Amino acid sequence: MLRDIQDEIIRIKKEKDICILAHSYQAREILEVADFSGDSFQLSVMAQKAPQKNVIMCGVRFMAETVKVLSPQKTVYLANPIAGCPMAEQMDKEMISMVKEQYPDYTVVAYINTTTDLKTVCDVCVTSSSAVKIVTNIENDKILFIPDSNLGRYVAEQVPEKTFKILQGGCPIHASVTANEAVKAKEIHPDALLLVHPECLPEVVRHADFVGSTSEIMKFAKSSDNKEFIIGTEVSIAEHLQYECPDKRFFFLSQKLMCQNMKSTTLIDVYDCVLGRGGEEIIIDEQTRLKAKKCIDEMIRLG
Ligand code: 13P
Ligand code: SF4
């Protein structure tokens, strides 16, 4: 049954010239029908490279918006319209415009988990895998970092030569993990390496053996000689790794690391979307798109 639906999706997407992009937090059955899966940075790059006329994003809204900003000639759908990212909604354009007046000589660095509207008043985007490199490469040494304060503090530690103003926002899922949970997990699994996403609190990151984006965590775990890992990011990453590396063992850092927004997209949503009876087409006005594009183009140039 599942296989039949997957086969149909694959047949229809070819027939209708559709590219399916999936964030790595999506369920396995969705990754299997995707043309490409990866972290936020890789998805942005693929958004431009994909030759198809139509794109379906299996992820959250800001990811679909990023595809549309970069490829306006493509018809872009968000597979499930309710999939938003709470962090992306935490700050708006008006708020950041006011903050910029206070810090006019700072470069505004926005995590890609922001709305297109907010990106129009920012200078450059970053993702978790590209943030350190991009901030290092920015000519200015004064950085105003929004909205993820945990990622901001992590980057500030890695780039100590720059001055940071960090606004208070972040991912409610990753930020819910406590240092105590990290200590306990290491006690229970003493042979396991702790791999943590920089959206986690600094006191959790401090216990990590490796810090990286979704894809970097997966790459590290696959290539490491170690046999056991505690995964400090969304639970699906531990599940995908367990499937791909049956000779290794993967443990969740916390059961709280489950993003309901990422999990809201189902294979049936993807099926309905390829059939043209589901999903939401992403529409962005041209003036907003062009302003937001500068910020994303800068990310690709500096990353
Ligand atoms: P990355 O895909 O950049 O690791 O980001 C994780 C995340 O929370 C995406 O919403
Ligand atoms: Fe947003 Fe966090 Fe979910 Fe990623 S894991 S989509 S940052 S709420």
CATH number for the domain including 246? 3.40.50.10800
The confidence score (pLDDT) of residue 46 equals 87
The confidence score (pLDDT) of residue 45 equals 81
Identify whether residues 79 and 128 lie together within a single domain.
no
The pLDDT > 90 percentage for the chain reads: 94
Q: Mean pLDDT over residues 69-80, rounded?
A: 95
Is there a domain that residue 17 lies in? Answer: yes
The pLDDT > 70 percentage for the chain reads: 100
Is there a domain that residue 293 lies in? Answer: no
Q: How far is the CA of 205 from the centre of ligand 2 (A)?
A: 17
Contact 293, 303 (CB under 8 A): no
Q: Ligand 2: which of 62, 90, 112, 113 to mutate, most ligand atoms within 8 Å of CB? A: 113
Is there a domain that residue 164 lies in? Answer: yes
The residues, any chain, with a CB within 8 Å of residue 130's CB and separated by 6 or more, are 41, 299, 302, 303
Q: What's 37's DSSP letter?
A: E
Whole-prediction pTM: 0.95
* pLDDT tens digit sequence for 238-279: 999 999 999 999 999 999 999 999 999 999 999 999 999 999
- 160 φ, ψ (degrees, to nearest 5): -70, -15
Task: Give nearest CA residue, ligand 2 atom 5.
Answer: 259
Check pocket membership of 143 for ligand 2, CB cut-off 6 A.
no
Structural domain harbouring 185: 174-258
Identify whether residues 253 and 267 lie together within a single domain.
no
Tokens coding 300? 């690709």
Q: In a 3-state reduction of DSSP, which class is residue 211?
A: strand
Check pocket membership of 138 for ligand 2, CB cut-off 6 A.
no
Identify whether residues 51 and 71 lie together within a single domain.
yes
Identify whether residues 145 and 162 lie together within a single domain.
yes
Lowest mean pLDDT among 26-30, 70-74, 219-223: 70-74
Q: Ligand 1: which of 46, 127, 173, 296 to mutate, most ligand atoms within 8 Å of CB? A: 127
Domain edge (last residue) among 149, 171, 193: 171
What angle, rounded to 10 degrees, do the helices at 61-70 and 40-49 form?
Answer: 30
Identify whether residues 143 and 74 lie together within a single domain.
no
Q: Which atom of ligand 1 is nearest to the CA of 234?
A: 8
Q: pLDDT-derived band of residue 303, with 50, 70 and 90 as boundaries?
A: confident
Q: Which atom of ligand 2 is nearest to the CA of 148?
A: 7
Check pocket membership of 193 for ligand 2, CB cut-off 6 A.
no
Domain edge (last residue) among 123, 150, 171: 171
Is there a domain that residue 290 lies in? Answer: no
Judged against a pLDDT cut of 80, whether residue 44 lies above it is answered with: no
* pLDDT tens digit sequence for 190-243: 999 999 999 999 999 999 999 999 999 999 999 999 999 999 999 999 999 999
The confidence score (pLDDT) of residue 1 equals 84
Check pocket membership of 261 for ligand 2, CB cut-off 6 A.
yes
Q: How far apart are CA 152 and CA 160, in angstroms?
A: 12
The residues, any chain, with a CB within 8 Å of residue 262's CB and separated by 6 or more, are 23, 25, 26, 59, 60, 83, 234, 236
Is there a domain that residue 291 lies in? Answer: no
Q: pLDDT-derived band of residue 178, with 50, 70 and 90 as boundaries?
A: very high
Identify whether residues 269 and 213 lie together within a single domain.
no
Is there a domain that residue 302 lies in? Answer: no
Identify whether residues 125 and 143 lie together within a single domain.
yes
Identify whether residues 167 and 211 lie together within a single domain.
no
Structural domains in the chain (count): 3
Identify whether residues 184 and 164 lie together within a single domain.
no
Taken in order 240, 246, 248, 252, is the CA torsion positive or negative? positive
Mean of pLDDT over the chain: 96
Is there a domain that residue 252 lies in? Answer: yes
127 alpha carbon, closest ligand: 1
The confidence score (pLDDT) of residue 233 equals 98
Identify whether residues 107 and 160 lie together within a single domain.
yes
Is there a domain that residue 296 lies in? Answer: no
Omega within 30 of 0 (cis) for the link into 147? yes
Contact 21, 59 (CB under 8 A): yes
213 alpha carbon, closest ligand: 1
Check pocket membership of 259 for ligand 2, CB cut-off 6 A.
yes
Domain edge (last residue) among 123, 140, 171: 171
Identify whether residues 126 and 78 lie together within a single domain.
no
Task: Give nearest CA residue, ligand 2 atom 6.
Answer: 85
Judged against a pLDDT cut of 90, whether residue 300 lies above it is answered with: no
Q: pLDDT-derived band of residue 42, with 50, 70 and 90 as boundaries?
A: confident
Q: In a 3-state reduction of DSSP, which class is residue 166?
A: strand
Q: How far is the CA of 175 from the centre of ligand 1 (A)?
A: 13
Which amino acids bring their CB within 6 angstroms of ligand 1?
39-40, 85, 113, 127-129, 171, 199, 213-214
Dihedral, CA of residue 267, residue 273, residue 274 and residue 276, to nearest 10: 150
Identify whether residues 159 and 180 lie together within a single domain.
no
216 alpha carbon, closest ligand: 1
Q: How far apart are CA 125 and CA 162, in angstroms?
A: 17
